[in-house]
Amino acid sequence: MNLDLLRPEICMALTALAAVGADLLFKRKAIVTAVCLAGIAAATGLTFSIMGNAPQIIANRLFSLDDYAIFFKFLFLGLAFIVIVASVDYVNRMKDFHGEFHALLITATLGAMLTASATDIISILLSVELTAISFYALVGFLKNGKTAESSIKYVLLGAINSAVLLYGFSMLFGFTGSTVLSGMERATAAIPSGGAAGGAGLLFGLMLVIAGFGFKIAAVPFHMWAPDVYEGAPTPVTLYLSTASKIAGFAVLTRILVTPFMQPVALARNWGIILAGIAALTMTTGNLLAIPQVNIKRLLSYSSIAQSGYMLVAVAALGMSSSNFLQARSSLLYFILAFAFAELAVFTAIVVMSRNKPADLISDYAGLARRSPLLGVAMTLGLLSLMGLPPLAGFMGKFYVFTQAAQHGLLWLVIIAVVNSVVSAYYYLRIIKTIWTDEPASEEPVSSSLGPRFALAFACLGIAVLGVAPAIITRFSEFGSHMFMP
Amino acid sequence: MHIMSIPSALIWAVWLLPLGAFALISPLIRPFPGKAEPASFISIGAVGISFALSLWILASVLQAPDRQIILHGADWLSISGGPVFNFGLLIDPLSAVMLSVVTSVSLMVQVYSRAYMHSDPSYLRYFALISLFTAAMLGLIVSSNLLSTFAFWELVGLSSYLLIGFWFHRPSAVAAAKKAFLVTRIGDVGFLAALLVLYTKTGTLDITALNSPGVLSAISGGVLTWAALGLFLGAMGKSGQFPLHVWLPDAMEGPTPVSALIHAATMVAAGVFLVARMYPLFQAAPHALTVVAIVGAFSAVFAATMGLVMKDIKRVLAYSTISQLGLMMLGIATGGVWVGIFYLFNHAFFKSLLFLGAGSVNHATGTFDLREMGGLRKKIPWTFAFFVLAAVSLSGIWPLAGFFSKEGVLAAALDKQPVLFGFALLTTFLTAFYIFRVVFLVFFGDYRGSHGPHESSRIMLVPMGLLAVPAVASGWLNANGGFEHFLGDGATHGFWSGFIGALAHPLALFSLLAALLGVFSAYTLYIKRWISPDKVKWFLRSPYAIFTRKYGMDELYENIIARNALYRGVFQAADWTDRVVIGGASAGIASLTTGAGRVLRRFQTGQIQLYAVAAVLGMTAIVLIALVRG
């Protein structure tokens, strides 16, 4: 039991406790924020300290520490840091629950970090649930009718989702005789490549697992909760939900599929093609339903569904890639980074706008560029990046993913994706037009404290660097594409 | 005469200078939105130096071995064992010529804008955006990799969007900007798909590599044709070719100097440039090249007919641009790179001069409506002189520039596609007619407006005068075959034998006859009024109605496709499913299960069972599909 390799996670668990403690002890709520930020910084430092070693097994194969896990740990820690920093003004809306809010944000991050390195279906399920349960509480935090409704919906559908996932896992265990991913890989390797033995059962199990994670990543037809929950949840939670929760879903889904189920080739192609179909459905539905929306959080939830579709293109390419899959995995990681920066830019602006009272309608953003140039520019950059306009991050992400898919014989899917990104330009452009050209209801400047401004500047920088100088970042995504399963 | 070859740092500077100007000016927009004249000097200075450097590059390319200078830049995107995209510069005769066109027109337009935009409250924003556009356009021309070409391609589209919507308090300008952006992006689907196909098949997007016979022969003919057609779809969007032309006339909502620079001389020509840039690839896909020729010839006639009846001077010029771009496409497809680019080169000067002239007329009369002009030749003699020179050149009348480039297109079309030659000849007639209709309506007869017309300031007239020189004479560059020799491989001959000898060719007589007939018809109708234009209008009322309604294309796109089919159809159907089917069914379920119903009604979460049912059904479908397949 080499638990010391879980140092960052242990640090995060202690941070969560410290946040609750600080909330009890101190009147000044800023101390809680400071404790959380310090804890995250310490965990980041600890992640650095365990990085660069050979991949290792932790806790009897429940977890593994590889570059892939480290990539996501950094990503989740960074996201948590930025989300906390971005919502320093907003949290005043939930005065009485300051400590709980932060503690739950930290446990959600902890769950996501564990998810990234979990290599056993038991540990996967536990980590996923840790994140999910934290979010159930976070979504309902404003304690008004709307957030309560969202929270109830999320809990009920989450329960169904867990059941489906568990059912899928039990099927996989039944057909491979192992709960460890590496054990499953040995079992699939033993299947003769031509025969169908175990094929149907495994495929059935895999489909249930895909459906289960389909909820997490809001893939069609498992997406319906997303608009309601995104709309109802407090905006910082929406931001964290649309990034960390979704990314954790992709991280673990990809780890389960690749490499344990990359063989026999027929099986891999089967789930690859099914995922390609789901990807096409997801992006098309997301983009079409985003167009008539007037509520900006609902619109962005559909946009986020569409973005999941693009990410699924990369996962589908993995399935079709047979053996040469490092590039496809690196493209997924790159896209995820680009997506995260764009969501940060857009949602942080919404967090700032709704710090006192809800600003949920697109028309609330009329003339925003005049009221606050920083918010206007950041939101515009974020939306243009989501639209995929070169030379911003989103374009490079899409281009990278699409070339991988085209190379692995999914050209039809790529064409659908390219057409989709043109359709999406319509509704992104509508928001941008509102921000820059419409008359604001009041000329009053939007004030924000240093934290959100830092978050916005950071997101803009990320969008620009990933687009203009992607070579720097591809090192990181390539590093992260190396996975090790004991 | 030997000129020192240009250092590579200065080649980079050509497009980085305007980018620097943009970076310098844009932070100043908020503190000094209106009057900050010195800022315009930053922008003009940057493009001025770029212009000088472009000429130096042109001279250096003439002397360079292989007539090529390739600069390797940074690896833009490189992944071990994966794609490597080098962001470098490719300077050859084609890009050198384009550089000098873009920088010279941009310089003239910016000087002109100092006066034209003088009283605009967003003076600085204007110069910042013009610099951004110029930088992106120059980057597009010099980039050595199709991926970076595409990035700049989108950036010019973005700056065009921002400049068309420059006066964003006008709803029509905002709508036009959006239309331009979305319609050109339809074309970009083809461009991006072609990039992905080419990359997948060849593993590179380097332009020189893609154009090499070795790489081209490795791709199967069918794939190559689709890739070429994809690239051409992108070119059609940018160059306003049928059926993606609808955005260009509306783009006239932007400030007139912007129309001169972007929507006449440079960005819209980017489509023609792209085909020229990838010409070896198109040559390897002859079917695609035939499509280019047909679309070009059709657009030429199609747009010219609409130019005949427009009442707004800028709209006439916009349709003229579409028509002329069509001739360039036809020229490239039938005669090769030099024919199309020579046309592009000459057209850039006389068409931007026509637009600047239209701007000057607008300055004098306060309108773009032809019905409120007339008799202006006495009031604004300089504008009149420049406008007429450009009009004669556009009509293709010897010895002005337009004649020489039109000869190239007509000769090539006659040689390769005799039917399309007929289209081109018809276009020649129509062109001369519509542009002289404008000349006669604006400058002759009696003044019909109410504004007191006055000549524009010298800041506007001097750039027009400078543009008038190439508008008259740029065609002479090929009188001795020099331009053809530079871009293609033709032999040179004596200047005078080409200059005068061009007239001896029977083809020249045909085209001159067509042009003069066009001028004469306009003269008959609008000066002498031997036949009243109203009578002609009545006599030809059905084609007239079709032309003024723009063949119903706007109607088709905006009402039938966008509003009815897409908005009322697809989006509303999706919305309806969301509300009525799911909402209604869930209400039903809620009333059946009273206990749950009471709780759920309080939270208004009636949909939740339906969400679950939909997900389970979806999951079942996926599992079934998977099992049937597997």
Domain spans, chain A: 3-480
B365 with B451: CB under 8 angstroms? yes
The DSSP code for B266 is S
Which of A403, A408, A477 best probes binding to B when mutated, by most B CB atoms within 10 angstroms? A403
Given this model, what pLDDT does residue A285 score? 87
The predicted model scores a pTM of: 0.83
ipTM of model over 0.90: no
Neighbours of A361 (CB within 10 A): 15
In whole angstroms, what is the distance from residue A201 CA to residue A204 CA? 5
Given this model, what pLDDT does residue B579 score? 57
* pLDDT mean over B461-485: 81
A65-74, A298-307, A406-415, A472-481: least confident range: A472-481
In whole angstroms, what is the distance from residue B49 CA to residue B27 CA? 22
* DSSP-derived 3-state class of residue A261: coil
In whole angstroms, what is the distance from residue B265 CA to residue B355 CA? 10
A62 with A123: CB under 8 angstroms? yes
A378 with A459: CB under 8 angstroms? yes
* pLDDT mean over B302-327: 89
Mean pLDDT of chain A: 87
Given this model, what pLDDT does residue B138 score? 93
Given this model, what pLDDT does residue B596 score? 44
Mean pLDDT of chain B: 82
Residue B519: which residues within 8 A CB-CB, separation 6 or more? B395, B397, B432, B433, B436
B192 at interface of A, judged by CB pairs closer than 8 A: yes
B617 at interface of A, judged by CB pairs closer than 8 A: yes
Q: Quick check: A324 pLDDT over 50?
A: yes
Residue pLDDT, tens place only, B171-194:
888 888 888 888 888 888 889 888
* pLDDT mean over B72-82: 65
- The kind and range of the H/E element at B78 are strand B75-78
Q: Quick check: A475 pLDDT over 80?
A: no
| Residue closest to A467 by CA, chosen among A347, A343, A339, A285 | A339
Place of tokens 């690239």: B231
- The kind and range of the H/E element at A234 are none
Phi, psi at A57, each rounded to 5°: -95, 140
B80 with A474: CB under 8 angstroms? no
Given this model, what pLDDT does residue B581 score? 55
Residue pLDDT, tens place only, A258-268:
878 887 888 88
A11 with A77: CB under 8 angstroms? no
What is the pLDDT confidence band of residue A194, given thresholds at 50, 70 and 90?
low
For chain A, how many residues are written?
486
Given this model, what pLDDT does residue B565 score? 65
What type of residue is A7? R
| Residue closest to B44 by CA, chosen among B26, B29, B13, B22 | B22
What is the pLDDT confidence band of residue B102, given thresholds at 50, 70 and 90?
very high
* pLDDT mean over B237-260: 88
What is the pLDDT confidence band of residue B80, given thresholds at 50, 70 and 90?
low
Q: Quick check: A336 pLDDT over 90?
A: yes
State which residue of chain B sits closest to A154, comparing Cα positions: B608
A407 CA: distance to closest CA in chain B (Å) = 5
- The kind and range of the H/E element at B89 are strand B89-91
A37-46, B264-273, B467-476: least confident range: B467-476
| Residue closest to A222 by CA, chosen among B35, B612, B337 | B612
Given this model, what pLDDT does residue A241 score? 92
In whole angstroms, what is the distance from residue B367 CA to residue B376 CA? 13
Which of A207, A313, A412 best probes binding to B when mutated, by most B CB atoms within 10 angstroms? A207
Q: Quick check: B599 pLDDT over 50?
A: no
Place of tokens 């989501």: A386
Query: Is A278 within 8 Å of B626 when comparing Cβ atoms?
Result: no
Residue pLDDT, tens place only, B357-389:
998 888 888 888 888 887 888 888 888 889 999
B603 at interface of A, judged by CB pairs closer than 8 A: yes
- Cβ neighbours of A285 in B, within 8 Å: 574
- Cβ neighbours of B607 in A, within 8 Å: 224, 228
Query: Is A292 within 8 Å of B572 when comparing Cβ atoms?
Result: yes
A313 with A401: CB under 8 angstroms? yes
DSSP string of A421-441, one letter each residue: HHHHHHHHHHHHHHHHHSPPS
Residue B347: which residues within 8 A CB-CB, separation 6 or more? B265, B269, B324, B328, B394, B402, B405
What type of residue is B422? G
Residue pLDDT, tens place only, B390-433:
998 998 888 888 888 888 888 888 888 888 888 888 999 999 98
In whole angstroms, what is the distance from residue A109 CA to residue B22 CA? 41
In whole angstroms, what is the distance from residue B75 CA to residue B80 CA? 12
Nearest to B150 among A160, A215, A390 (CB): A390
What is the pLDDT confidence band of residue A460, given thresholds at 50, 70 and 90?
very high
Q: Cα A297 to chain center, whole Å?
A: 16
What is the pLDDT confidence band of residue B605, given thresholds at 50, 70 and 90?
very low
What is the pLDDT confidence band of residue A26, given thresholds at 50, 70 and 90?
confident
Given this model, what pLDDT does residue B472 score? 82
Tokens of B185: 């992006």
Q: Quick check: A292 pLDDT over 70?
A: yes
Q: What percent of chain A has pLDDT over 70?
A: 97
What is the pLDDT confidence band of residue B4, given thresholds at 50, 70 and 90?
confident
Residue B380, CB half-sphere, CA atoms under 13 Å: how many? 32
Residue B52, CB half-sphere, CA atoms under 13 Å: how many? 7
In whole angstroms, what is the distance from residue B609 CA to residue B605 CA? 9
Q: Within B366-417, where are the H helices? A: 376-379, 381-395, 401-416
Tokens of A318: 């993995």
| Residue closest to B101 by CA, chosen among B217, B264, B239 | B264
- Cβ neighbours of A208 in B, within 8 Å: 619, 623
What is the pLDDT confidence band of residue A311, given thresholds at 50, 70 and 90?
very high
A246-250, A289-293, A320-324, B213-217: least confident range: A320-324
Phi, psi at B90, each rounded to 5°: -120, 110
Place of tokens 């004249």: B37
Report in angstroms the alpha-carbon separations of A285 from A107, A224, A299, A305, A416: 32, 11, 12, 8, 12
B121 with B34: CB under 8 angstroms? yes
Given this model, what pLDDT does residue B574 score? 64
Query: Is B605 within 8 Å of A157 when comparing Cβ atoms?
Result: no
Per-window interface: B 341-380 vs A, CB < 8 A: none
Given this model, what pLDDT does residue B588 score? 47
* pLDDT mean over B445-454: 78
Query: Is A418 within 8 Å of B193 when comparing Cβ atoms?
Result: yes
Report in angstroms the alpha-carbon separations of B477 from B402, B404, B481, B499, B505: 12, 9, 8, 10, 19
Q: Quick check: A424 pLDDT over 60?
A: yes
What is the pLDDT confidence band of residue B564, given thresholds at 50, 70 and 90?
low
Query: Is B615 within 8 Å of A157 when comparing Cβ atoms?
Result: yes
| Residue closest to B353 by CA, chosen among B387, B395, B379 | B387
- Cβ neighbours of B151 in A, within 8 Å: 390-391, 395
Q: Which residue has the higher pLDDT, B141 or B592?
A: B141
* DSSP-derived 3-state class of residue A56: strand
Neighbours of B505 (CB within 10 A): 13
Q: Quick check: B567 pLDDT over 70?
A: no
Q: Quick check: A96 pLDDT over 70?
A: yes
Beta bridge partners of B78: B84
Query: Is B193 within 8 Å of A415 when comparing Cβ atoms?
Result: yes
Q: Quick check: A83 pLDDT over 90?
A: yes
Which of A374, A407, A482 best probes binding to B when mutated, by most B CB atoms within 10 angstroms? A407
B73 with B139: CB under 8 angstroms? no
Given this model, what pLDDT does residue A312 score? 95
* pLDDT mean over A53-80: 86
Q: What percent of chain B has pLDDT over 90?
A: 17
B2 at interface of A, judged by CB pairs closer than 8 A: no
Q: Quick check: B589 pLDDT over 60?
A: no
* DSSP-derived 3-state class of residue B312: strand
Q: Quick check: B593 pLDDT over 70?
A: no
Q: Is B434 exposed, middle or buried (0-12, 13-18, 19+ CB in 10 A)?
A: buried
Q: Quick check: B72 pLDDT over 50?
A: yes
Residue A391: which residues within 8 A CB-CB, separation 6 or more? A467, A468, B151, B155
Residue B416, CB half-sphere, CA atoms under 13 Å: how many? 20
In whole angstroms, what is the distance from residue B415 CA to residue B90 CA? 32
* pLDDT mean over B596-616: 57
Neighbours of B340 (CB within 10 A): 32
Given this model, what pLDDT does residue B445 score? 80
Q: Long-range CB contacts (< 8 A, 24+ apart) of A111-115?
A: A111/A248, A112/A72, A112/A76, A112/A244, A112/A245, A112/A247, A112/A248, A113/A8, A113/A9, A113/A12, A113/A72, A113/A73, A113/A76, A113/A77, A114/A9, A114/A63, A115/A72, A115/A248, A115/A251, A115/A252
Neighbours of B102 (CB within 10 A): 31
B506 at interface of A, judged by CB pairs closer than 8 A: no
Query: Is A292 within 8 Å of B575 when comparing Cβ atoms?
Result: yes
Given this model, what pLDDT does residue A129 score? 93
* pLDDT mean over B211-226: 84
Residue pairs between chains A and B whose CB atoms are closer than 8 Å? 164
